[in-house]
Structure 1
Amino acid sequence: MTRELREQVGELLRKSPLDLGGDLGVQRPLFEQILSSSSQPVPADAIVEKLDLAGVAALSVAISGAPQPVGTALYFHGAAFAPGSADSSLGLVTQIARRSGLPVVTVDYRLAPEHPAPAAATGAATSYEARWTRVSAPTN
């Protein structure tokens, strides 16, 4: 990461209403709003499918017309297993799919503190090892 980019990210964090140490009841909606598809719209050429990964909900994102992929990327939305969701990560995941040429699966693991450790890590491991089951037909 360049110095300029680090400074931009630092400034963004200083101005953000998001306080990662704050009350989750307040911070989760802010986190979702910042990352949601309303702030990062999902492009029309993105194909989104709901998946079940051995009981762990997930979304698969691929780009229409992309070359035949050689694999799949598995994405775990960030922020210390407390805020975030597969849905709120769609904007970023779509960019990963577009730039990598791979379909990307983003996982809705159980969040802390409602689900104490190791629930999120267990969900992540389960999703990695799972055989995927489509829950819905692809949409775009």
Structure 2
Amino acid sequence: MSSEQRAKVDAIMRAPQPVPRDLGEMRAAFAARQALSVVPEAIGTSETVLGTRRALVLEPADQQPRGTILYFHGGAWALGSPETSLSLTAHLVSRSRSRAFSLDYRLAPEHPFPAAIHDGVDAYRALLDDGVDPGHIAFAGDSAGGGLAVTTVMEARERGLPVPGAIVAFSPSLDLTLTSASMGAKEGVDPIFTRERLRPFVAMYCPGADVRQPLLSPAVSGDLTGFPPMLLQAGSHEVLLDDAVVTATRAVSAGVDVLLDVTAGVPHVFQNFVGLLDEADQALDRAALFLRHHGGTVQA
């Protein structure tokens, strides 16, 4: 663990940024920042449609994939695309030797809750209809997308679909009440987020909704009974830390196999700094190992 590396990442995230004038500028700035992340070589990309939504397909260029990942990008439900999470998705593919479908789900505020969850269920159903074994599918995502990986499983279960083989969530957003202990305790320690900064995104995603309901705050009220094995990764320097911690506790109470993987001294979705931060590479290695052990990346 390198204190110099962690200090450099913290400084990068705290660097002043131009204030976007509107959501369009915010989306463009987010895409530009994410484009700086390292993408591994030997990954082939193409496009397809799952349900009614575009998906970016990533596969190892030099080997048959051993399983399937349905990936949900981050971006506070209002920003981002499969391309903005290309680095994370590609590193999971490279390390686990799987293929991934990164879903271009609908964004708020144009398409508020539950549009993104419905897109995820439709994409999952399309994979099942194509003959993919649900036990060999893993749901994964970062930030808001990590939350969608969990809530999409809840909605799929409600519709009578089989659960996937595993869930991997990087710094997931799982408590939209924004009232967790870490939301206050980590303010200032977190280099980018505060409760006040997150509130406008929650308002765009679910205007007028009861944020305590399970599909918005599974950490508060979600029933995780029957869930597949889960890996929840978070950094100790993020206000969303307890989203992962409390959800892990709820999973244990529901009899679910769960690994809570907290890395000290790192921020929200620190895995984005792969190649710059040793902890990012190590966390992605652990995520790939988890997928292999829990069937998400092993073909029948």
Q: TM-score, normalized by length of structure 2?
A: 0.38
Alignment of 1:78-89 (within 5 A): 78-89=74-85
Aligned residues: percent identity? 35
Are the aligned partners of 2:39 and 2:91 in contact in 1 as well (CA < 8 Å)? no
Quick one: distance in 1 between partners of 2:101 and 2:47? Answer: 9
Quick one: distance in 2 between partners of 1:3 and 1:82? Answer: 33
Unpaired runs of 5+ residues, structure 1, are 134-140
Paired AA for residue 51 in structure 1: T
Are the aligned partners of 1:61 and 1:104 in contact in 2 as well (CA < 8 Å)? yes
Report how many residues are paired: 128
Query: Who is 1:124 aligned against?
Result: 120
Give the secondary-structure state (helix, strand or coil) at the position aligned to 1:130. helix
The change in CA–CA distance for 1:45 and 1:18 in structure 2 (over 3 A counts) is farther
Quick one: distance in 2 between partners of 1:95 and 1:18? Answer: 30
Alignment of 1:46-61 (within 5 A): 46-61=43-58
Which residue of 34, 57, 65 maps to 1:69?
65
Quick one: distance in 2 between partners of 1:120 and 1:99? Answer: 27
Which residue of 107, 110, 128 maps to 2:106?
110
Unpaired runs of 5+ residues, structure 2, are 131-300
Paired AA for residue 107 in structure 1: L
CA shift at 1:94, angstroms?
A: 1.4
Paired AA for residue 46 in structure 1: I
CA shift at 1:13, angstroms?
A: 2.5
Quick one: distance in 1 between partners of 2:6 and 2:120? Answer: 29
RMSD: 2.8
| Larger RCO, structures 1/2 (Cα 8 Å, 6+ apart) | 1
